[in-house]
């Protein structure tokens, strides 16, 4: 396919409630959308999951915007023929900037799927019609508020809950949730918030409270510390920020530092790499799952399609739209179904319709770039 234009949309969506993690509090999500159009008038959508500030990773909206404007979009617009696969191969020449790359790759996958008349899930070779999901709960004002919040999510139908933790907010809130919900599948996620010396204490409270999974407690380069935490543990040790490509996954597997893999398309540069990582993990009997980054319905649709792969065996962080936003950017938001699942769209491309009215309400600015 050959592109005629690219439109970069700068968006702002208010969260239903503040979402607090070890690296800060988000009340509003400011992010970039990418709309690509072919010469035949077919559109494809991608979402950049970078945030305003470089806290989760070194990327930010500003750096992603610059990477897209200076390097990635001029390249794809100038190409006589572009596919998601050829772009993925080309983009590896640039170091880092995986979130910017993923925005282009997902938009191209949406386009290629629409041209073939198939869903993104089918394009990726993902057979499932529904995917199991969980919910991620941010740090709350009090332990009592956390227990109430988890209770409401269970009433909504979520079967797996992940608690954000950090030093000073771990053993007591986790214990309170476990007492209130003795049969709940409970995960914790620290987003690199702990020093490597905290491994023994984490092991103690995680084991005592029957935590099923401990996610990224240490810095992204602390592979040895994660391997020590995983050794003989009754819980899985999940790596998120540490895994950015096939080489980093291979190192973690060889060190036995990863017993669960969080696949985020933005973190690894797109669904093509995400699929490859999940398949490599499966060969080592390491379960994979799809993580979330507070995406709108556009990014959520891409995530649901990836989660439909056979290799994605654990519930993903792809909650229903109303978990995060009162108004989504798609006309039919994702809703939680039986068995704590979301339906995988089967229509062409991402299979959901973007609401132009919602785009207008939440757009901060827009820039159109045409092919020569």
Catalytic, 367? Answer no
β-pairing, 24-38 vs 43-48, is antiparallel
Report the first-to-last Cα separation within the chain, whole angstroms: 15
Instruction: Please tell me the total number of residues recorded for the chain in this structure.
Output: 372
Which residue, 337, 304, 325, 320, is CA-closest to 16?
A: 325
Catalytic, 101? Answer no
What residues pair up with 3 in beta bridges, in sequence order? 38
CB 342 within 8 A of CB 130: yes
What residues pair up with 135 in beta bridges, in sequence order? 161
Which residue, 278, 283, 267, 265, is CA-closest to 314?
A: 278
> DSSP letter string over 117-169?
T-BHHHHHT---SEEEB-EEE---SSHHHHHHHHHHHHHHT-SEEEEE-BTTB
Give the count of alpha carbons within 13 A of 144, CB side only: 0
Q: Which residues are catalytic?
A: 164, 264
């Amino acid at each position: 396919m050959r592109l005629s234009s690219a439109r970069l949309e700068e968006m702002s969506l208010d969260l239903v409630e503040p979402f607090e993690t070890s690296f800060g509090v988000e009340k509003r999500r400011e992010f970039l959308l990418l709309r690509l159009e072919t010469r035949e008038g077919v559109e494809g959508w991608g979402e950049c999951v970078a945030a305003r500030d470089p806290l989760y990773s070194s990327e930010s909206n500003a750096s992603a915007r610059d990477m897209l404007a200076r390097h990635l979009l001029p390249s794809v617009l100038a190409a006589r023929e572009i596919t998601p696969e050829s772009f993925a191969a080309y983009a590896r020449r640039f170091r880092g900037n995986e979130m910017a790359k993923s925005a282009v790759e997902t938009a191209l996958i949406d386009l290629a799927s629409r041209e073939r008349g198939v869903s993104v899930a089918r394009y990726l070779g993902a057979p499932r019609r529904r995917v199991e999901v969980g919910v991620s709960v941010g740090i709350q004002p009090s332990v009592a508020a956390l227990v109430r919040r988890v209770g409401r999510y269970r009433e909504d139908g979520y079967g797996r809950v992940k608690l954000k933790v950090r030093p000073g907010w771990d053993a007591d809130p986790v214990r309170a949730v476990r007492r209130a919900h003795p049969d709940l599948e409970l995960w914790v996620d620290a987003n690199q918030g702990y020093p490597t010396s905290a491994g023994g204490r984490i092991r103690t409270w995680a084991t005592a409270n029957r935590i099923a999974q401990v996610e990224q407690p240490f810095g992204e380069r602390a592979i040895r510390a994660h391997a020590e935490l995983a050794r003989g543990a009754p819980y899985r040790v999940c790596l998120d920020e540490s895994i950015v490509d096939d080489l980093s996954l291979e190192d973690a597997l060889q060190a036995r530092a990863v017993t669960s893999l969080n696949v985020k398309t933005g973190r690894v540069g797109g669904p093509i790499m995400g699929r490859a990582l999940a398949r490599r993990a499966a060969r080592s009997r390491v379960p994979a799952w799809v993580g979330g980054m507070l995406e709108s319905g556009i990014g959520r649709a891409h995530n649901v399609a990836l989660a439909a792969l056979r290799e994605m065996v654990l519930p993903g962080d792809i909650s229903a739209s109303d978990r995060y936003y009162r108004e989504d950017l798609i006309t039919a938001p994702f809703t939680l179904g039986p068995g704590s699942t979301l339906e995988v769209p089967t229509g062409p491309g991402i299979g959901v319709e973007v609401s132009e009215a919602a785009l207008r309400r939440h757009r901060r600015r827009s820039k159109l770039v045409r092919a020569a």
